[in-house]
């Protein structure tokens, strides 16, 4: 099989390094020429919870040749139009594109390559791009029961899904699901909440969790995601333990407190991590906020569901992109104090 990882920033580089190290012939494809050159010259250097250098094969999109049997899509959604148009000549009717992007990109990808050739998946680990050729794995992946959850839009489990899961297994176990879109909404809890707040506040995950107000924002963001998920006809999956499907929807003080513990437990080994959206802001690049928090907001508009916390994340991050706001925890002041219903914050109104 001819296999490619298209979009080899932090996540794609780490995955490509592990797959190559474990015996898979995979091509890392990225538009950052200096990064590609360093990967070919020095190998992929993975630091953080591991320290390893793996010789890899890397090319730019212009250097892609022939037909790929399987492409893992790790590019930012902001460039999907361009990326997918350029990819089409390298696909045939048997090719599969498995998007591992943030947000809920499957339907957009299927619009280009067809639903039959489209798979999607959530990634249950994190990484940070350090410099060309070097990426940091920000958690100990040996503690995870599985590193990916993949499936088809319609829930069918066929040859394409099984093949993709087998290939992903060269890095770590991929769980196959027949409820992909519900799983996507489950991952959107992480993207919209932790990544959204990390970007809006210019902060690491640890800094978000250690601040009372930002930690409270996570709960309200999660509730909005859950309400929109259910409006779309999906059941929010279990995120960490049996209580969590309910703790995402705040109904009382006890449930609000449970929600805080959920995020503290979920990210206890990722305090130093930064959201990819924050990394983009630091590099003065356009973020995926409209495809993440903006996706929640637009779904809320569709079903007449209020999403003030996701709306605020979009507003803050967009202003940072335009250099109208700094990267600062002071941006918490833009989350309206009157929206906080439960203690810790109602006592401070």
Residue 180 pLDDT greater than 70, yes or no: yes
In angstroms, the Cα distances linking 56 to 6, 41, 97, 107 are: 14, 9, 21, 31
At residue 284, what are phi and psi to the nearest 5 degrees? 60, 40
Sign of CA dihedral 110, 112, 118, 121: negative
Answer for the pair 245, 237: CB distance below 8 angstroms, yes or no: yes
Measured between alpha carbons, how far is 82 from 68 in angstroms, rounded to an integer?
18
Average pLDDT over residues 259-288: 88
Of 10-14, 163-167, 241-245, least confident by mean pLDDT is 241-245
In angstroms, the Cα distances linking 43 to 24, 29, 109, 129 are: 15, 14, 30, 15
Average pLDDT over residues 135-144: 91
β-strands 174-176, 3-6: how paired? Answer: unpaired
Sign of CA dihedral 3, 68, 113, 297: positive
Name the strand (E) or helix (H) holding 187.
Answer: helix 180-190
Nearest to 141 by CA among 116, 172, 117: 172
At residue 98, what are phi and psi to the nearest 5 degrees? -110, 105
Nearest to 151 by CA among 138, 140, 162: 162
Residue 348 pLDDT greater than 70, yes or no: no
Residue 92 pLDDT greater than 50, yes or no: yes
Q: What one-character-per-residue DSSP string does 63-102 give?
A: G--S--SEEEE-S-GGGHHHHHHHHGGG--TT-EEEE--S
Measured between alpha carbons, how far is 181 from 186 in angstroms, rounded to an integer?
9
At residue 246, what are phi and psi to the nearest 5 degrees? -90, -35
Copy the structure tokens of residue 118: 């489209």
Percent of the chain with pLDDT over 70: 95
pLDDT band at 239 (very low <50, low <70, confident <90, very high): low
Average pLDDT, the chain: 92
The pLDDT value recorded for residue 163 is 98
Nearest to 269 by CA among 324, 312, 224, 206: 206
The pLDDT value recorded for residue 49 is 93
Measured between alpha carbons, how far is 148 from 72 in angstroms, rounded to an integer?
12
pLDDT band at 187 (very low <50, low <70, confident <90, very high): confident
Residue 291 pLDDT greater than 50, yes or no: yes
Cα 22–159–185 angle (5° rounding)?
Answer: 80
Alpha carbon of residue 185 to chain centroid: 11
**What pLDDT, in 10s, does the model give residues 23-41?**
999 999 999 999 999 999 9
- Domain boundaries along the sequence of the chain: 3-178, 182-339
Q: What one-character-per-residue DSSP string does 105-170 give?
A: -HHHHHHHH-GGGEEEEEE-S-EEEEETTEEEE-S-GGG-S-SEEEEETT----HHHHHHHHHHTT
Of 53-57, 200-204, 262-266, 316-320, least confident by mean pLDDT is 262-266
Measured between alpha carbons, how far is 257 from 247 in angstroms, rounded to an integer?
9
Answer for the pair 43, 54: CB distance below 8 angstroms, yes or no: yes
Measured between alpha carbons, how far is 72 from 348 in angstroms, rounded to an integer?
47
β-strands 3-6, 70-73: how paired? Answer: parallel
């Amino acid at each position: 099989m001819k296999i490619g990882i298209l979009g080899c920033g932090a996540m794609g580089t780490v995955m490509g390094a592990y797959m190559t190290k474990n015996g898979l012939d995979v091509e890392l494809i990225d538009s950052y020429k200096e990064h590609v050159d360093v990967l070919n010259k020095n190998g992929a250097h993975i630091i953080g919870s591991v320290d390893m250098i793996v010789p890899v094969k890397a090319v730019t999109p212009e250097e892609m040749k022939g037909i790929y049997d399987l492409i893992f899509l790790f590019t930012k959604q902001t460039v999907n139009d361009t990326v997918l148009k350029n990819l089409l000549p390298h696909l045939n009717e048997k090719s599969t594109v498995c998007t591992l992007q943030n947000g809920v990109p499957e339907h957009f990808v299927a619009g280009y390559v067809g639903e039959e050739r489209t798979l999607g998946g959530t990634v249950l680990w994190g990484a940070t791009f350090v410099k060309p050729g070097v990426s940091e794995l920000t958690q100990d992946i040996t503690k995870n029961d599985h590193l990916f959850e993949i499936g088809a839009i319609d829930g069918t489990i066929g040859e394409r899904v099984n093949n993709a899961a087998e290939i992903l297994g060269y890095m770590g176990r991929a769980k196959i699901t027949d409820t992909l879109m519900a799983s996507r909404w489950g991952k959107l809890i992480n993207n919209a909440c932790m990544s959204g707040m990390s970007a809006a506040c210019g902060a690491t995950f640890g800094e978000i969790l250690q601040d009372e107000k930002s930690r409270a924002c996570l709960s309200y963001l999660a509730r909005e995601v859950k309400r929109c998920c259910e409006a779309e006809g999906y059941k929010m999956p279990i995120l960490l333990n049996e209580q969590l499907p309910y703790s995402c929807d705040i109904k009382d003080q006890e449930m609000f407190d449970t929600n805080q513990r959920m995020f503290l437990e979920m990210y206890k080994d990722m305090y130093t991590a930064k959201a990819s959206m924050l990394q983009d802001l630091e590099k003065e690049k356009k973020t995926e906020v409209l495809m993440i928090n903006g996706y929640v907001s637009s779904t809320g508009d569709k079903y007449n569901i209020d999403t003030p916390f996701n709306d605020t994340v979009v507003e803050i991050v967009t202003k940072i992109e335009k250099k109208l706001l700094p990267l600062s925890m002071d941006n918490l002041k833009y989350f309206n104090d009157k929206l906080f219903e439960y203690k810790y914050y109602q006592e401070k109104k």
